[in-house]
Structure 1
Amino acid sequence: MTYIRNILLTLLLIGCGSTQESGNNESSDQKATKEVQSPAEEKKVILFFGNSITAGYQLDMDQAFPALIQERIDSLGLNYKTINAGLSGETSAGGKSRIEWVLQTVPDIFFLELGANDGLRGLPLDETIKNLQDIIDAVKNENPEVEIIIAGMMVPPNLGQGYSDKFSQIFPKLAEANDATLIPFVLEGVAGNPELNLSDGIHPTPEGHEIVADTVWKYLEPLL
């Protein structure tokens, strides 16, 4: 009788040990599952919203300055990704009409490079200012903490010096009103240089985009 009791006790202890061990394994499995399911830290978004300059007119996408900025970010191991939302021929009105769709990805840094096509077409600049402000408001509505960079542009005086002067003042005024970072002239060192522009004399070559990237980086880097 004692012998049978000892066997039963031994089996009971073995069973308890197996249950405890199984419980430990389950906890480890659960922990591992949680680790696998934990998403990697999402990268912050820099959204480049502009016209053909941003889009890299007639160039491969990786030759345009937003892609060159991404290369610098990656080389420094910074947790940001760039999105090139440039569209050739885009006016401020066109940008306003598509901004809601673009904002399906909410940016942490918003780079605005629009208005040049308005100036080249001689469009009313009061409407340009309103459209650009509406774009900025839409971005701020999605992310009130967004950092904004405004790319200043210039137009030739063929529509009158008064028009050109008023056009160039659009961007400083917008930057001041929205506490944004201003790049006085995004094509600094590129515009007017035949060696750095395509045959149309307007759009940068790959070498021109490298200089644009240098200019943009000076203002972007402190925000990263």
Structure 2
Amino acid sequence: MASETIHILDDEAGIRKALSRLLRAEGYEVRAFESAEAFLKGCNAEEISCLLLDLAMPEIDGLELQRRLIRAGVMVPIVFLTGSTDIPMIVRAVQAGALDYLTKPVDDTALLDAVRRALEVASTYKQERDDSARAAARFSRLTPREREVMEAVVAGKPNKLIAAELGACEQTVKVHRRRLMDKMGAESLAALIHTADRLHAGRRSFLLPAR
């Protein structure tokens, strides 16, 4: 049985019921919402493996919700559901990062295929979050001075310049640099820069307001 949770957001009760039944029959956990407001209030982004999102809804429509998730740094694979052939709207959704879109009435096979693709993407997102968390844990072990040196090293500054800026001797900077590289698990400057990028990504919020 699949353990992934699929979230459905559609203002049509019949569609929510039909999709929920289909997905549960495939072994997925399902949570269904009738509005974007209910979704934002009652959902934790880390629980979402895939979001089936109605494109046209009253008040907050699918595109606006997608924009809000992007602004919050919430990484969720989205499959849009649409009852129209509004090509410009569909294009905007895909350009903004939607994984796919399906036209209502949704074909069962097409839906399940889209969900499977979304789950593959969700697995990648989870790996990225885990990598960011590990990088943050390593970074927390650095001393304040090691953090200063790391920031300067990642910025491409040579040891001599770092020493001058920090009011320290170059040999001391080299010692801090070796220690921080060891603590960060970085075997090269490229690896340290990559880890710093992970830290920057991890500072974004991956959570919606808690229930």
Q: TM-score band, normalised by the shorter chain?
A: 0.3 to 0.5
Structure with the bigger RCO (C-alpha within 8 Å, sep 6+) is: 2
**Superposition TM-score, scaled by structure 1 size:** 0.40
Larger radius of gyration: 1
User: Normalised by the size of structure 2, how large is the TM-score?
Assistant: 0.42
